[in-house]
Amino acid sequence: MYRTAQNIAAMCLGAVIVLATATPAFSDDSVPNPSELAAATTPALYQGEVIDLAEDWEGAQACIQQEAGALIEFVCYEDVATAAAAESWEEAGEIGASSLSSCGAGHMCLYQFKGYGTPLVSFNQPGTYNLADKFFRDRASSLYNNRSTKSTLVDFRSGIIRDRSITFDPRQTIYDLAHVAYPDGGTWDNKADRVIVR
């Protein structure tokens, strides 16, 4: 009798171990793993996985800052249309007649290519963001400051040369930063190292 009970206990323990092994700590893909979050410079959720925007977007085309206090700061999508639908961006946020791209109300959107071409990274919380942390340094070529406040791009300079900056009005769009003159010659295309959102 004792032996049988022991065997049953062992079987139960085995079953528990199998269950524990087969079930991840977070069975819901939408819940990020805390250790992954801590290891990433800029953790973002993309297709149920935590990625680090500073390292690799892993094919994501639109990474959207979430409301303050969100469990994870950025959520990424495979294209802008999917992002716009998931984030409930208003149609008013669409740029141009083709609606190829969009930028949600309250967001400062930076696009890697002119004409609002993706990848896109957007910010909707006031703050100062180093774009290297988003794998976006020296990449922005167009933008839409779809906010009620001004936003600023900064280009880092070294030595005695002051950093350069340019500020955009609320709702301002720039189709092509290659048409925006840079203080020391050239243009603002692929120059921005930091964005300041107010």
Cβ atoms of 45 and 76 closer than 8 Å: yes
Choose, by CB under 5 A, the member of 116, 193, 194, 195 that binds Ca ion: 193
Amino acid found at 136: F
d(Cα 150, Cα 179) in Å, to the nearest integer?
Answer: 20
Binding residues with Ca ion: total (CB under 5 A): 4
Whichever of 66 and 187 has its CB closer to Ca ion, that residue is 187
What angle (nearest 5°) sits at the alpha carbon of residue 89, between those of residues 121 and 96?
Answer: 80
Q: Which stretch binds Ca ion (CB under 5 A): 13-21, 57-65, 106-114, 154-162?
A: 154-162
d(Cα 111, Cα 63) in Å, to the nearest integer?
Answer: 11
Q: What region, left, alpha or beta, does residue 14 occupy, with left being phi > 0 and alpha being psi -120 to 50 degrees? A: alpha
Whichever of 125 and 190 has its CB closer to Ca ion, that residue is 190
Residue 73 sits in the site that holds Ca ion (CB under 5 A): no
Whichever of 73 and 193 has its CB closer to Ca ion, that residue is 193
Choose, by CB under 5 A, the member of 52, 73, 87, 155 that binds Ca ion: 155
Cβ atoms of 135 and 172 closer than 8 Å: no
- Span 125-144, contacts to Ca ion by CB under 5 A: 138
Q: Measured from the CB of residue 80, what is the shortest distance to Ca ion in angstroms?
A: 25
Q: What region, left, alpha or beta, does residue 136 occupy, with left being phi > 0 and alpha being psi -120 to 50 degrees? A: alpha
Whichever of 84 and 134 has its CB closer to Ca ion, that residue is 134
Whichever of 33 and 114 has its CB closer to Ca ion, that residue is 114
Residues that bind Ca ion (CB under 5 A): 138, 155, 191, 193
